Structure 1
Amino acid sequence: MNHSRHLCTMDSRAVTEILKVVHEIETSGFSRIAKGLQDPFILGTMFHNVDSREAHICELTGGRLGVPVVDLSWRNVESKETSVLLDELRMAESTVDLLLTAFASKDTFGEGRNLTTKFPSSPKSPIVSLHDDIYNWQTALSHLAGFQNRIGDLSGKRVVVSWGFGSNFANPAIAHGLITTSALAGARVRVVEPPDFPTLNRVRKEAAESSGSVEVTSDYRNSFSDADAVYVLNWFRLDDFKHPERNVNFVSKYKDWYLTEDMIPESCILSCDPSIQSGLSISPELLQDSRCINSSWLSRRVQTLAATIHYVLRYECSFT
């Protein structure tokens, strides 16, 4: 196991090359990636407060690459100091060939990101953060892969990341990740959000400083006419992270934030996550339209993770 150069976050090279490998996997399969792994190769996972689908995606990816996946997740997190959690991570990454992490706090928004940025600078094995409570890189990249597969190079394309009406109130980490990775891919990003449900300003600011552009609007009805790709998520109010029940006090005024077939161009691509509420955020007809690529969501997640593993091993780096 080689020592790895530690990267704080995504960059344009990573986005470009990971998307390139995703396309290769989609057209030619996983064999080249699998052959590049040493024998034996062990993939570890270390999660906290994460949807069970993340473990399934890791297991599916391990199966495609022909490598075992071992769960080394944190336990009893609430009773431990950050230093102890980091010690447990060091122990885990020293025993596998690559460690996949995901950490989101139930109590403090941003705690997962804070922990992730403190990961060791020179781990014995690469560490890949699938997501924390600020950025969800893997899901964001999988949406970009779907966009690129249908509309080609994303440079100069209009990517719209929009809040949508609903009652699920998901973490905005996917939206944050998509804003950033789209900008890194050179897209013109438009964030459509109600005043009561903003994304993090620093996320938008940092994304705007990359190779793309980012604009923010609350003019829902007029935000999609020039879109090449659209992503919709019903994210929660950051101000009420500890009081999720308060979201309902603000959401009713945005019932018309509802995407229908006639609101996006015929050439536009739509993507969202399995948690999307048909009939609330997006019309059932649009979700069944050929412009919607949701049916490939799971396969794109697996392909994206395999491509990310290939990237970090090739460049001996880590992603947080």
Structure 2
Amino acid sequence: MAPIPLLILNPLDPERVARIAAGGFAPQLAVGPAARAAAIAALPQTRAVLTNGATGFTAAEMAALPRLEIICAIGVGHENIDVAAARARGITVTHGPGTNAASVADHAMALLLGLLRGIPQADAAVKRGEWMGARGPRPSVSGKRLGILGLGEIGLLIAQRAEAGFAMPIAYHNRRPREGCAYPWMASAAELAAWADVLMIAAPGGAATRHLVDAAALEALGPAGFLVNIGRGSVVDQPALIQALREGRIAGAALDVVDGEPVVPAEMLDLPNLIITPHIAGRSPEAVLATATLVVANLRAHFAGQPVLTPVA
């Protein structure tokens, strides 16, 4: 049987493209707005689309593909896919929970350690020849209170690492308390921030979480508090964060995600108390290939007439 064409809208490394091709699908890459629009117009017979949460897929784009059957989000996020429009059309939507959770949790801890201990700043100072200037005291990590905003699979892995490795007390905020969870639940992001020494964002994007960490939450975190975000940039009110960092109303922040990425606001680039990594938390070699393997498994199940493995709930 000939490979089934798969329209891919987000950047993919050659290894993942090869794994998808080996799974029986013909990758057709259309990355960027112009290529995307052209491909959708030129390929109306498309039955399968691969995207991610940031890139998304709109109702209008679905309408332009009358034979579309399945949309796969590579990775856990699906916030910019119009799931309601897909359901109305009977289009299956899948995502990739768990494929990169351990890698994201590892990176979260790396950001936390680097932020509190000032590792990037110390490295830069030493390389400028400022050995003594880089030896100022920095906060310890052990025993600090860690507030996790979004205690899903990734949040739990972060909590395990922080509690077992650094004796950090844990509390969390979800929309509702997690059943069977022994960690204290806080009723709001601001309440969690007021309790925490470090506020860790592991929440998904989308309308329900947009600007959940606002100026009030940052004020509650306070001038000795730190923010780490490995969730989605939209969860944080970015102008409020920039102002809080510039005015020293929080001690520092470490971000793997930025609202509007890959564009980083110019106001962020000269903040000495801010660390940014380019959305790489889930990009370990093991996790990268696992995301592609799950996409292939979902596609093969769908086209074999079987239930997909990880539908969007």
Q: TM-score, normalised by structure 1?
A: 0.39
Q: Which has the higher contact order (CA 8 A, sep 6+)?
A: 1
Q: TM-score, normalised by structure 2?
A: 0.40
